[in-house]
Amino acid sequence: MIRGTVAIVGRPNVGKSTIFNRLIGQRKSIVDDTPGVTRDRIYGEVEWLTQKFRLIDTGGIQIEDQAFASQINMQVEIAIEEADLIVMVVSCKEGVMSDDMVIARKLQKTNKPVLVAVNKVDNEQLQMQSYEFYQLGLTNPICISGVHGIGIGDLLDEIISKLPEKQIKPYEGITSFCVIGRPNVGKSSLVNAILKEERVIVSDIEGTTRDAIDTSFKVDGQEYMIIDTAGIRKKGKIYENIEKYSILRALNAIDRSNVVLFVIDGIRGITEQDKHVAGLAHDAGKGVIIVYNKWDAIEKDDKTMDKIKKEIRAQFLYLDYAPIAFTSALTHSKVNQLLPLINLVHDNCTLRVATNVLNDVVLDAQMMNPAKPHLGKQLKIFYVSQVSVEPPTFVLFVNDPELLHFSYKRYIENKIREAFGFEGTPIHIIARARN
């Protein structure tokens, strides 16, 4: 369970992406001496003392051809909007610069916790220089060195202790879903189309506070929640169209949902950016429905749908479990199929199968097609147990977990799906040694 989102802000070259990489423990973003180099990866998960949080490097969110001042402005605003805690990075090498003061002044106005990390404190002598950062009027500076890994543990302790207590949990007893996709695929049109269906009773649309951005509604006594409808509806804000920013928003929405509607623009067809968005849904382990929208605007004959289905399957191999819906938010065509699909997928995400039947299925599969020996050793599955739901997770108790090859895992997964369905939900399979 993710405890919240932490954003790193600061002017270029203070060491934000170095620290980001250090914290997420992988070299996922590009570090370069040129200020403002575009980074590939701007978010990741950090685990510290059994706590997990999401980390964003706002330095990686950029608008092309914008002046430096407006870039910084945007980064700080996004941090204030999206994060639960902000780490402002400064550099003891350069000392307090006027751009640092500009950022600090903006951060002084937020009521979210702000930490100051003085970077490039590569040795103890340099610590004295950190005092000048009291001028920023924020909290006590924490000395670190991103390159040498000094003080990183202290920074993490401080983050964990200041991160507000807040559990991001899907709503209990309600089916919650979000609608994600590139800008202009028709997300807000779809939400409006769903809410205009005859039997829908909306109880709360667009609250004024940040927490009331979810819309709840009832159909035939069943309650649903659309997550982050404000994000979907809010139009005309320049940031909304920045890909990296829309991805951050999507991540937060996915966290709080049971089912994700991943929307593709039928007029444009599948793009690279769609693949990125689809990956988010799959990685999160949530139920997924692929919605091919703007179906009204496509020239078609009786073969078109099958052709597109094939193309979707080929482009999103890992989403082979996700059902595909063809909709038009404009004419409302097939929009009424979405709620029944959401119900089905949510049921599958929470499905528990009987242990004896599960064991019959998996052990039969093994008997029909035993694993190929690896380095002279043969995998042996003794029994299986479903340990959790959302996503359904199965533990295979085996002689040696190292022997479970990817392709054999896939085979077992397919057999489980053949027997029990699980349409719309990823399933996880883990091997453990039998004691």
Q: If residue 325 lies in a helix (H) or strand (E), which one and from where to where? A: strand 324-326
Paired strand residues for 339: none
By CB under 6 A, is residue 215 in contact with ligand GDP? no
Three-state DSSP at 221 gives coil
By CB under 6 A, is residue 75 in contact with ligand GDP? no
Q: Is position 10 annotated in a ligand binding site? A: yes
Of 3, 4, 7, 17, the residue at the interface with ligand GDP (CB under 6 A) is 17
Q: What is the C-alpha separation between 373 and 83, in angstroms, rounded?
A: 49
- Peptide bond connecting 391 to the previous residue in cis, omega within 30 degrees of 0: yes
> Which residue has the closest beta carbon to ligand GDP?
186
Q: Is 38 left (phi over 0), alpha (psi -120 to 50) or beta?
A: beta
Q: Is position 328 annotated in a ligand binding site? A: no
Q: Is position 373 annotated in a ligand binding site? A: no
Question: Tokens 């309600």 belong to which residue?
Answer: 174
Q: Is position 199 annotated in a ligand binding site? A: no
Q: Is position 65 annotated in a ligand binding site? A: no
Q: Is position 122 annotated in a ligand binding site? A: yes
Residue 218-247 contact track with ligand GDP, rule CB under 6 A, x = bound: --------------x---------------
Q: Which is nearer to ligand GDP, 33 or 211 (CB)?
A: 33
Binding segment toward ligand GDP, per CB under 6 A, in 115-123, 252-260, 306-314, 389-397 = 115-123
Of 147, 344, 351, 389, the residue at the interface with ligand GDP (CB under 6 A) is 147
| Half-sphere exposure (Cβ direction) of 279: Cα atoms closer than 13 Å | 8
Q: Closest Cα to residue 187, out of 238, 244, 249?
A: 249
User: Helices 406-420 and 355-368, interaxial angle, to 10°?
Assistant: 130
CB of 390 to ligand GDP, least distance (A): 26
Of 33, 40, 220, 302, the residue at the interface with ligand GDP (CB under 6 A) is 33
Q: Is position 296 annotated in a ligand binding site? A: yes
Residue 287-326 contact track with ligand GDP, rule CB under 6 A, x = bound: ------xx-xx-----------------------------
Q: Is position 52 annotated in a ligand binding site? A: no
Q: Which is nearer to ligand GDP, 12 or 323 (CB)?
A: 12
Q: Is position 137 annotated in a ligand binding site? A: no
Q: Which is nearer to ligand GDP, 118 or 371 (CB)?
A: 118
By CB under 6 A, is residue 16 in contact with ligand GDP? yes
Q: Is position 186 annotated in a ligand binding site? A: yes
How many secondary structure helices (H) and strands (E) does the chain include?
A: 12, 16
CB of 380 to ligand GDP, least distance (A): 48
Indicate if the alpha-carbon torsion angle 108, 112, 113, 115 is positive or negative. negative
Q: What is the C-alpha separation between 334 and 93, in angstroms, rounded?
A: 60
Q: Which is nearer to ligand GDP, 26 or 388 (CB)?
A: 26
By CB under 6 A, is residue 330 in contact with ligand GDP? yes
By CB under 6 A, is residue 344 in contact with ligand GDP? no
Radius of gyration of the chain (CA): 24
Q: If residue 290 lies in a helix (H) or strand (E), which one and from where to where? A: strand 287-293
Do residues 173 and 149 lie in contact, with contact meaning Cβ atoms separated by under 8 Å? Answer: no
User: Helices 243-255 and 68-82, interaxial angle, to 10°?
Assistant: 0
Q: Which is nearer to ligand GDP, 35 or 153 (CB)?
A: 35
Q: What is the largest CA-CA distance in the chain?
A: 75
b/e burial code for range 70-96 (CB count within 10 A of at least 16 → b): ebbebbbebbbebbbbbbbbbbbeeeb
By CB under 6 A, is residue 10 in contact with ligand GDP? yes
By CB under 6 A, is residue 119 in contact with ligand GDP? yes
By CB under 6 A, is residue 189 in contact with ligand GDP? yes
CB of 32 to ligand GDP, least distance (A): 6
Q: What is the C-alpha separation between 123 and 411, in angstroms, rounded?
A: 54
Q: Is position 17 annotated in a ligand binding site? A: yes
User: Helices 68-82 and 98-108, interaxial angle, to 10°?
Assistant: 30
Kindly state the tokens that stand for 187: 């997300």
Of 118, 185, 278, 281, the residue at the interface with ligand GDP (CB under 6 A) is 185
Binding site for GTP, by residue number, is 10-17, 57-61, 119-122, 181-188, 228-232, 293-296
Q: Which residues are near ligand GDP by CB under 6 A?
A: 10, 12-18, 31-33, 35, 59, 119-120, 122, 145-148, 181, 183-189, 232, 293-294, 296-297, 328-330
